[in-house]
């Protein structure tokens, strides 16, 4: 075979490959990629002559909900679609990735599953919120043994009839830090703090913790005829606000943490002089 014939054959093969490439490319461009899904129609929108619907459906995780939008080209199809109804959808995908609705059919089975999952999810959230709310409350009953305060320093004391029995209780704030001979406090980097309530023959220990580079303060106030003891614990990594009220029926104090953020790093605290 001559070189000329060989070159002609090679050229023909190359042209055939190029033609085949363009033929296959056109076939792929005209071929629709059909997919199916089910969902709840939550929106019907129109922009000029273009119609769109948006559905809510399950994601990869059954407990995850996704929103998908579809262009509706068929006028009859558009008119038949009702908002807030569940449908089985067949759609194609355009080159640019947008979805075009091809067919639609009501799907009550999906609706039942969808509503069941939403209901269970709501119940789970409510249960978690109830658990979280319960965890904020702590019942404090009278101590079996009285705290020995002989080696503690009394910082503050007030008498209040906190349980409305016409007898005043004594609220006392103590710390393990000591005073020097001049009466000045000798604070360490950290010390234990105690907040006690004495009620005749009973003693309640509301606070008994080691506080690192911080303090404990308390306030007594009334709100809607109820007495409250409010504590503020401060430190380099803590800023905790707690509320104590007395439960007459259970003869106990109920502690509720109002503010207690995690991973706290105090940058600055103002000082009033």
**Are 115 and 162 members of one domain?**
no
Among 74, 109, 135, the domain boundary falls at: 135
**Are 237 and 217 members of one domain?**
yes
Among 106, 135, 164, the domain boundary falls at: 135
pLDDT of residue 62: 59
The pTM for the full model equals: 0.55
Stretch 196-203: mean pLDDT:
92
Residue keyed to tokens 């080209």: 73
**Are 106 and 183 members of one domain?**
no
pLDDT of residue 273: 66
Q: Which residue has the higher pLDDT, 244 or 34?
A: 244
**Are 154 and 250 members of one domain?**
yes
Domain span including residue 59: 34-135
pLDDT of residue 61: 66
Q: Report percent pLDDT > 70 for the chain.
A: 85
pLDDT of residue 1: 55
In the chain, the number of structural domains is: 2
177 C-beta neighbours (distance < 10 Å), count: 16
Indicate if the pLDDT at residue 185 is higher than 90: yes
Asked if residue 1 belongs to a domain, the reply is no
Q: Starting at the edge strand that comes first in sequence, how are the strands of the sheet with 239-247 ordered?
A: 137-140, 252-259, 239-247, 226-234, 215-223
**Are 81 and 172 members of one domain?**
no
Across 58-62, 157-161, 221-225, the highest mean pLDDT is recorded for 157-161
**Are 217 and 131 members of one domain?**
no
CB contact at 8 A, 260 and 243: no
CB contact at 8 A, 36 and 19: no
**Are 147 and 255 members of one domain?**
yes
Q: What are phi and psi of 133, to 5 degrees?
A: -70, -40
- Please, what is the average pLDDT of the chain? 84
Q: How confident is the model at residue 230 (pLDDT cuts 50, 70, 90)?
A: very high
């Amino acid at each position: 075979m001559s070189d000329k014939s060989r070159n002609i054959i090679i050229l023909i093969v190359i042209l055939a490959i190029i033609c085949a490439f363009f033929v296959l490319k056109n076939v792929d461009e005209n071929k629709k990629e059909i997919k199916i899904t089910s969902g709840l129609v939550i929106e019907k929108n129109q922009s000029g002559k273009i119609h769109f619907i948006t559905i809510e459906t399950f994601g990869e995780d059954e407990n995850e909900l996704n929103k998908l939008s579809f262009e509706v080209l068929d006028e009859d199809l558009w008119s038949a679609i009702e908002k807030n109804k569940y449908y089985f959808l067949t759609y194609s995908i355009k080159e640019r990735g947008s979805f075009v609705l091809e067919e639609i059919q009501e799907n009550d089975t999906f609706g039942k599953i969808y509503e069941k999952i939403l209901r269970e999810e709501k119940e789970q959230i409510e249960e978690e919120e109830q658990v979280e709310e319960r965890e904020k409350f702590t019942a404090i009953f009278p101590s079996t043994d009285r705290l020995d305060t002989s080696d503690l320093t009394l910082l503050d004391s007030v008498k209040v009839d906190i349980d409305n029995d016409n007898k005043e209780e004594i609220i006392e704030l103590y710390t393990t830090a000591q005073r020097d001979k001049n009466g000045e406090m000798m604070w360490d980097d950290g010390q234990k703090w105690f907040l006690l309530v004495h009620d005749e023959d009973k003693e309640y220990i509301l606070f008994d913790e080691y506080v690192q580079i911080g303090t404990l303060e308390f306030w007594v106030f009334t709100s809607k005829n109820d007495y409250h003891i409010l504590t503020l614990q401060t430190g380099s990594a803590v800023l905790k606000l707690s509320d104590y009220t007395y439960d007459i029926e259970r003869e106990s104090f109920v502690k509720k943490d109002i503010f207690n953020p995690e991973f706290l790093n105090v940058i600055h605290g103002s000082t009033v002089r």
